[in-house]
Structure 1
């Protein structure tokens, strides 16, 4: 039993970390005077708020420092099977076949997971992209079968939202990419928001094209899947978004002027009190299946560092027995230096 400093998601606290039945556990309990102290600090597994698990080797997640991911566009049947199992990396684990459906059912996968000691990665998901007929990403070769639904009217919008909610979605993903095809008219976008609200689900939107980031926020989206990058928002637009919408960063998928625009928007959004969430669009090109140092660097360039950077990573509560426990050298250490906490770290 060792005294330990840990991050609870908002700030630093004191507790006790110990090895029980082969597992490292942390308790929110004041250490006894003179108790040995863990060198370094403890934090829960990090969150990537924008991934596409059908586009990467998702079996690598179990060896990463991520404790939770949010999939924002996948075949709902396939991603629900992984989420139900709280997928971990194990030798011989089933992969998604070319149709995007697991060869083994979710129960079998879950039973295999229970037999491992590997860190678990919680998977939240949106299910399929909701897009207008002919809209993004319906014409993209990378979009797996079943990963989008083309919405023609309010009736099909309601049916699609119902399908995703029934599959277990925690958010609804809407495509609003005016640079790559049609986007929803205002009334149909609102119909999707209303249907999602009726199931208690927020709407996260891929907004791209002139004015789209502002439009989707005005129509009821509460999360931008990408920090706005098409154009520089003025300060009044930044203030309005900071009051009502969270931004998922995904800065490192950009370069050149587009990156500069996105970083400038994020810097001012953060300064205005807006909520910035770490997200990488994992699967968009050769991105790491794990924490992405390039994304962390871009967030620092936007003025987000220290405890603010940790909050953007939304680490799991380390007091939760199901959470991944990570070790950092000290409270000022970069998240990319985190590693799994092991029994060898305890002083006995």
Structure 2
């Protein structure tokens, strides 16, 4: 048994870790004995659970590579619901997989005209009946959220009425709406119409401070900063910096599958988040590590509480001191 410091999702805590029946078990507080934590050998470094990528597309990557990564959970935001559900149960069982199912998009909307979009990865929604049916289909397939595509730079976008109909149908099934909002004014519309998350930190335009403050109180942003270049990258980083300063929740996400990038933790995304002012415990919160007290969670060892997450590696029995 070793004393250990671990991250519980919000703060650093102390506890004990030991190998029992071939598994690492972490417990909070002092051991259930006369021993004190100070009497035990202490694990070098700290423990966190596997990290979360809140925006991936598993059908567009070699998902088997996740097995050797430090990601413990991924959220697929647009794919064939049957195919991604199968991955969540089988091929990607080494990480927890959540998914939105298909993109819900207006007739002719993004990404219906994209060659990269797998068969069955989008549903074109013409009216409220189609919206209700599509939400029900995704929910019944096991979706944990609903993905809406509103991209005015690539085609039509939903009317306010139809967007709200999707939000209401999703709420009736207990599911939040995650919006791809691209084009002038679309991030503002998505937040106003009830989206719980933006799939990308706003990058089309610089939001004014009042809008940033309003969104900080109502929606969370998934970062995906590293997919941008030049002025677009600078705009997204600036928006995130002010959103975070206003108390907004920023979640680590990469849009994995959108061009060449690591199938695992992405150093470029971490660097961009640091540029936007997230570091230390704020960066860990954005990475949303799994609860390391869960026996099923991937346990990672970091050199220290302010260490670079790219230095994390799976905890092994060799890390424990006799």
| TM-score tier after normalising by the smaller chain length | over 0.9
Q: 1:327-338, aligned counterparts within 5 Å?
A: 327-338=301-312
Assess if the C-alpha contact under 8 Å between 1:47 and 1:66 holds in 2.
Answer: yes
Q: Secondary structure at the match of 2:270?
A: helix
Structure 1 position 28, deviation (Å): 1.4
Q: CA RMSD in A?
A: 0.8
Aligned counterpart, 1:164: 138
Equivalent residue, structure 1, for 2:47: 42
Structure 2 CA distance, aligned partners of 1:84 and 1:195? 26
| Aligned-partner Cα distance in 1 for 2:264–2:92 | 14
Q: Secondary structure at the match of 1:321?
A: coil
3-state SS of paired residue (2:179): strand
Q: For the residues of structure 1 that align with 2:206 and 2:178, how far apart are their CA atoms?
A: 20
Q: Do structure 1's residue 60 and structure 2's residue 84 form an aligned pair?
A: no
Unaligned runs of 5+ in 1: 89-119
Match in the other structure for 1:261: 235
| Equivalent residues in 2 for 1:66-81, closer than 5 Å | 66-81=71-86
Rounded Cα–Cα distance in structure 1 between residues aligned with 2:77 and 2:95: 16
Residue aligned with 1:187, SS: helix
Match of 2:220 among 243, 246, 252: 246
Counterpart of 2:184 in 1: which secondary structure? Answer: coil
- Give deviations 1:7-37, integer Å, cap 9, x for gaps: 0000000011111111222111315331111
TM-score scaled by length of structure 2: 0.97
1:250-329 to structure 2, matched below 5 A, reads 250-329=224-303
1:153-192 to structure 2, matched below 5 A, reads 153-192=127-166
CA contact (8 A) 1:278 1:312 kept: yes
CA distance in 2, matches of 1:249, 1:84: 27
Alignment correspondent of 1:99 = none
Distance 2:91 2:21 in 1: 21
> Once the 2 structures are TM-superposed, how far is the Cα of residue 86 of structure 1 from its aligned partner?
7.7
Residue equivalent to 1:4? 4
SS where residue 44 of structure 2 aligns?
strand
Deviations, residues 154-174 of structure 1 (Å, cap 9, x unaligned): 000000000000000000000
1:84-117 deviation line (CA, Å, top 9, x unaligned): 34824xxxxxxxxxxxxxxxxxxxxxxxxxxxxx
Alignment match, 1:51: 56
Aligned pairs for 1:124-143 within 5 A: 124-143=98-117
Q: Distance in 2 between matches of 1:263 and 1:205?
A: 19
Structure 1 residues 252 and 154: alpha-carbon distance in aligned structure 2, compared to 1, 3 A threshold? same
TM-score normalised by the chain length of structure 1 = 0.90
Conservation of the 8 A alpha-carbon contact between 1:86 and 1:122: no
Equivalents in 1 of 2:283, 2:117: separation in Å? 31
For each residue in 1:194-214, what CA deviation from the matched residue of structure 2 results, as whole angstroms up to 9, or x when unmatched?
100100000000000000000
